[in-house]
Structure 1
Amino acid sequence: MTQSSQSNPIRTVIVDDDAIVRDMLSTNLGADSSIKIVATATNGAEAVDLVHEHIVDVVLMDVQMPVLGGVQATSRILAAGGNTRVLLLTTFDDDTYLDGGIAAGASGFLLKSTPAKEVVAAIRTVHAGGKVLSPGPTSRVLERYMRGQRPSTGSDSGLDLSTRELEVLRLLRKGYSNRRIAREMNVAETTVKTHVSSLMRKMGAGSRLEVVAEANQRGIG
C-alpha cells in the first residue's frame, strides 16, 4: 500500500436500508487503511444530504431502498456537481438496475456477493476515475452496445421531476387518495391535484394508475 493511500484515505459513505449489510460493509471496508467510512445512510435521500454536508469521494450505494432508491439518488448527487463518485451495490443481477445506474452516471455496479477485497479495489478504481462492473453484467453491457442498443434510464432522468412530485409519486404508489396525500405532506389537496396533473403530463399518462405503472416500469422511487 502506498504512502499516499494511507495519508489520504478515500472518504466513503455506505448506503443500505439493511443494518446488517451496513455494519458488515463498514467493518470490512473500514479495516482497510485506504478507506475511511465518513458516514452511513439508510436511503438515497440521506445519501444526498450527506454528500452535501461532507467531503465524500465515493458513495457505495444499494439500489433498492425506501424513500429514494439508489439510481435516483445517484442522479441527484451527480447533478449537484463535485467530484463524488457512486458505486452501486445490489443483490439483483438485473439489467433494469444496471442500465438505470449507467444512465444515471454511476461509476460502477457490483453484486452484493462481491468479496470485500474486490469491493475495496472497486472503490479505489472509481475514485481514480475508472469504471467497474461485475463480470456477468459487463459481458451483457458489451454485448448490447455492440448491437447498438442504448440502456433504458430506469430513473426519473429526462422527466425533470421535482422533489414534491417524487414525494407525491411515492404516496400514489401506496394507493393513497389525494386527501390522504395532502395530510401526509401537510399541503392543500389542490396542491396535490396540481402535482398529480404534472406527473401525468410529464409521464404521458392518462390516469393515476398509468402514472404508477409508468413509474414501476422506469424503476422510479
Structure 2
Amino acid sequence: MERPRPSLDRRRLPRFSPRCEGLEARLALAVNAVGNAALSFTPTTTSDAASEVDVSVYPLRYQKFSARFQGGYLTSPARLDGFSTMLYMNGGGMSSMFLHGNIQVGYYVPTDTTKSVVGRVLILPKSAIQSGSQMVLDLHSIPGKVDKAGRPTEFTWTLNKDSAAQYSSSDGSGTLQLIYTPSTRGRRGGGSGNLGVIISGQVGLTGVDDPLRGK
C-alpha cells in the first residue's frame, strides 16, 4: 500500500524548536536590607490631626459614685500638736460600684477654729482580698457646715494617690456627709455612738484595672 505524501504547503510550515535564552544579570538584595524593610512599621508621613492628639495620659471614663455606710465612732483628744480632738469610725455599707464594702473614717479638728477639719477615708470592697481594690479619700470640711454640737457634717473629698486597682487613676472628687447619733451611755459631748456616712461624686476609671474581670 502506497503511503500518501504530504503536500508542498505543509512541508514548508515552520517546525516547533524550543531553546534556552540567557537571563540578564541582577544584584540580589542583602538579607539585612530585606529584614529591615519588612519590619519597618514607621509611617513615612503623619497627619496633622494625629500629631495634635495628646496620648501621654490614658483617657479616663468618669463614672458617678455614691455610697452609704454606717458604724460606730469614738472621739478623743488629738495626739498631734495643733489639733484639739479626733474622731475614728469603722463600719460597713454598699455603693454604686460594689455591693458590699468596709469603711474607715478619721478626722482631726484643729485648735484654730478658722482652719478646716482634715480627714481621710479608706474604703475596701469585699472583693479586696482578690483584687486589691481600695479607695482613699482626702477630706476637707466645708466652712459653717456643723451640727448643734459643733461637729463637722459636710466635707469635700478628692481621690488620693494611695488608691489601688481600678481606682489607681487617683482622679475623683465629690462631697461627704456625716450623720451623728451619739450614745446615751457614753460621756457627755457625744464621745461615742453611731455614724452614718453618705458619699457622692464621680471617679475616673480606665476600664482595664479591675483584676476580677480576668477571672
With the shorter chain as reference, the TM-score category is under 0.3
User: How does the TM-score come out when normalised to structure 2?
Assistant: 0.21
User: How does the TM-score come out when normalised to structure 1?
Assistant: 0.21
Higher normalized helix content (fraction of residues) = 1
The structure, 1 or 2, with the larger RCO (C-alpha pairs under 8 Å, 6+ apart) is 2
Higher normalized strand content (fraction of residues) = 2
Larger radius of gyration: 2
